[in-house]
């Protein structure tokens, strides 16, 4: 079973702060790091470390950051024939507070140069795949094109709708599974998500627009798996969070890997919750992503 990730590749510039700054507030950080990231690359590395055969389609710059990112993905056994180099590598400026919360500002860079033509040049990777993972850090028209082409090929398309924005109906109709968090679900539907019942109602509203399955991550409350005829609450694993940066990316990737390993959707969601719980106990995006051996041996 093969997974293809189409999406962003960034260098994360991470500042560690006592608290997230408010509007107009200037604060000092107590440490700074350069860490490989980008939602697409995070998901590709996460799935590869969990034992999946993963190919990446995307773009990095013709600069040192691009070389570092490609080397890191290659070390995690991500296949990179679908990655080209042009312009300046994308970046993410991330503040991480002492209690593990974060905020992020993206500079798209080369990610904005991913085009329909680039996808068509690598269409064989989509044809050879079983599952295709998408996010929203490359142009929306390209995401929609990939989803449409993948649906025509009969592939399982999983969309992690982040950063959240209004999505065209043709995109949602081409997606099988959507994996928002609470905030993203609220943005996508305009409905409140303060309780499990409200999350379920909002998820069903999203399913009316095309997807067959929604998995909503709800932090320490776990996740809610919603289809047309059922809703299952997937409990979270209890940990002390250090950095939540790649939690959503690892969850989406682990769910996809679980499905390729023959797990039921509930089993895959529980496996994904375990992976995401391990991720938030470590700092950084890709450095926090565990191997399958780590997941199997981790004791909560």
Instruction: State which of 89-98, 152-161, 231-240 shows the largest mean pLDDT.
Output: 152-161
| 126 within a domain of the structure (yes/no) | yes
Known catalytic residue: 99?
no
Dihedral sign of CA atoms 271, 276, 282, 288 in order: positive
Of the two residues 72 and 241, the one the predictor is more confident about is 72
The Cα–Cα gap between 212 and 26 comes to: 45
262 marked among binding-site residues: no
Q: What is the mean pLDDT of the chain?
A: 95
Q: Structurally, how many domains does the chain consist of?
A: 1
| 29 within a domain of the structure (yes/no) | no
| 230 within a domain of the structure (yes/no) | yes
Between the alpha carbon of residue 220 and those of residues 75, 175, 223, 234, 245, the distances in Å are: 32, 27, 9, 11, 15
CB 273 within 8 A of CB 181: no
Q: At 285, which CATH number? A: 3.40.1190.20
279 marked among binding-site residues: yes
pLDDT of residue 252: 97
| 92 within a domain of the structure (yes/no) | no
pLDDT of residue 242: 86
Whether pLDDT at 219 is above 90: no
| 25 within a domain of the structure (yes/no) | no
- Rounded to an integer, the average pLDDT of 231-258 is 93
217 marked among binding-site residues: yes
pLDDT of residue 220: 86
What token pair was written down for 195?
């309780």
Q: Looking at 98, 99, 229, 249, which residue is catalytic?
A: 249
Range of the domain at 149: 2-8+37-86+111-297
38 marked among binding-site residues: yes
pLDDT digits 0-9 by tens, 134-157: 999 999 999 999 999 999 999 999
| 27 within a domain of the structure (yes/no) | no
- Rounded to an integer, the average pLDDT of 149-176 is 96
pLDDT of residue 115: 98
| 212 within a domain of the structure (yes/no) | yes
pLDDT of residue 243: 82
Sheet with 79-85, strands from edge to edge, namely 79-85, 53-60, 2-6, 131-134, 156-159, 177-178, 213-217, 223-227, 231-234
Which range, of 25-39, 91-105, 113-127, 148-162, averages the lowest pLDDT? Answer: 91-105
282 marked among binding-site residues: yes
- Rounded to an integer, the average pLDDT of 217-233 is 94
pTM over 0.95: no
pLDDT of residue 80: 98
Between the alpha carbon of residue 71 and those of residues 36, 47, 48, 119, the distances in Å are: 10, 17, 14, 22
| 14 within a domain of the structure (yes/no) | no
């Amino acid at each position: 079973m093969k997974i293809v990730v189409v999406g962003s590749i960034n260098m994360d510039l991470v500042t560690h702060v006592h608290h997230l700054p408010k509007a107009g507030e200037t604060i000092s950080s107590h440490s700074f790091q350069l860490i490989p990231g980008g939602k697409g690359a995070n998901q590709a590395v996460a799935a590869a470390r969990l034992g999946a055969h993963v190919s990446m389609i995307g773009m990095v710059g013709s600069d040192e950051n691009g070389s570092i990112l490609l080397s890191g993905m290659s070390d995690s056994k991500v296949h990179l024939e679908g990655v080209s180099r042009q312009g300046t590598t994308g970046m993410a400026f991330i503040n991480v507070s002492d209690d593990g919360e974060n905020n992020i500002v993206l500079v798209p860079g080369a990610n904005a140069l991913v085009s329909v033509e680039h996808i068509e040049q690598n269409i064989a990777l989509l044809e050879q795949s079983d599952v295709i993972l998408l996010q929203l850090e490359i142009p929306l028209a390209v995401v929609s094109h990939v989803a449409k082409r993948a649906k025509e090929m009969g592939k399982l398309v999983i969309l992690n709708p982040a950063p959240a924005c209004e999505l065209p109906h043709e995109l949602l109709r081409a997606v099988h599974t959507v994996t928002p968090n609470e905030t993203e679900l609220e943005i996508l539907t305009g409905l409140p998500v303060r309780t499990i019942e409200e999350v379920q109602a909002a998820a069903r509203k999203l399913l009316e627009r095309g997807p067959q399955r929604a998995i909503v991550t709800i932090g320490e409350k776990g996740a809610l798996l919603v289809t047309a005829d059922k809703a299952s609450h997937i409990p979270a694993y209890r940990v002390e969070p250090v950095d939540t940066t790649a939690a959503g990316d690892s969850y989406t990737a682990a769910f996809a890997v679980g499905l390729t390993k023959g797990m039921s959707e509930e089993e895959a969601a529980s496996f994904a919750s375990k992976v995401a719980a391990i991720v938030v106990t470590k700092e950084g995006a890709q450095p926090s992503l565990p191997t399958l051996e780590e997941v199997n041996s981790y004791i909560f």
